């Protein structure tokens, strides 16, 4: 009961801090337009109120309650997979954070417990076991590599290779992959995927290209490292 009361107090605090009253940024990486929803890939909003340091103190809180907090911050409806782990979440913010930074932190904390949050369109976010995240049609994010959050926020990122073949890049990138089946190669240097599972929102033209492409389906922080490695390989 005490934990439930604390989560209720936390939700009230987050609303008071502005997490529930912001306007969505039209430049959101998920192209949010008109809906009062937010994602882990949204840019910082000028003048946004911050959640104070130490305002979030989760101590062995049940997953369902943490997902309620996530829903309140993002403004999105949560879709829960049936086979989520029975996780207990612990987290405390040591510095002031924006609502997007709180979402990124929760993504990372939940991922550490085997739960991946997958944004679906502008209204929903789905909580799935990490091992099944690659089966979901996650958001295709087009931010520059340096703009990707250093968090365990699930995304799909498409890379067109210039000087490196996919067959050369795959072994180097595999060491940075966190999720299973997270790297797909398409084109002359790699085989087309045998299944488009988890990729229904990608253009069909990608699967007939002669260029070498990589589709990365992993956490943002892992994709950032992969892109840094690719940049060095392309320079050689």
pLDDT digits (tens, 9 = 90+) for 144-163: 999 999 999 999 999 999 98
Which strands form 77-80's sheet, in the order they lie side by side? 77-80, 124-129, 115-120
Rounded Cα gap, residues 59 and 42, in angstroms: 28
Per-residue pLDDT in tens (0 to 9) along the chain, 236 residues: 545 544 555 655 565 555 544 444 545 545 444 446 899 999 887 778 899 999 999 999 999 999 999 999 999 999 999 999 999 999 999 999 999 999 999 999 999 999 999 999 999 999 999 999 999 999 999 999 999 999 999 999 999 999 888 888 999 999 999 999 999 988 754 444 444 444 545 555 555 556 789 999 999 999 999 999 999 999 87
Q: Which residues contact 138 (CB under 8 A, 6 or more apart)?
A: 118, 119, 154, 155, 156, 198, 217
Rounded Cα gap, residues 13 and 171, in angstroms: 46
pLDDT single digits (tens) 88-101: 999 999 999 999 99
């Amino acid at each position: 009961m005490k934990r439930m009361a604390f989560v209720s107090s936390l939700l009230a605090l987050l609303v008071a801090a502005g997490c529930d009253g912001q306007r969505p940024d039209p430049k959101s990486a998920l192209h949010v337009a008109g809906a009062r929803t937010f994602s882990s890939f949204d840019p910082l909003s000028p003048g946004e109120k911050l959640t104070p340091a130490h305002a979030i103190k989760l101590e062995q809180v049940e997953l369902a309650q943490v997902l309620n907090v996530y829903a309140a911050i993002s403004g999105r409806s949560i879709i829960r997979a049936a086979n989520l782990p029975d996780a207990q979440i612990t987290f405390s913010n040591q510095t002031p954070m924006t609502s997007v930074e709180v979402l990124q932190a929760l993504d990372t904390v939940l991922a550490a417990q085997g739960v991946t949050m997958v944004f679906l369109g502008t209204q929903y976010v789905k909580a799935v076991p990490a091992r099944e995240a690659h089966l979901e049609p996650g958001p295709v994010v087009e931010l520059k590599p340096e703009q990707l959050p250093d968090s365990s926020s699930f995304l799909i990122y498409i890379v067109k290779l210039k000087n490196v073949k996919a067959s050369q890049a795959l072994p180097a990138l595999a060491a940075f992959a966190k999720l299973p089946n997270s790297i797909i190669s398409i084109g002359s240097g790699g085989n087309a995927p045998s299944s488009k599972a988890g990729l229904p929102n990608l253009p069909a033209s990608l699967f007939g290209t002669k260029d070498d492409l990589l589709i990365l389906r992993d956490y943002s922080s892992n994709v950032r490292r992969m892109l840094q490695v690719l940049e060095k390989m392309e320079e050689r």
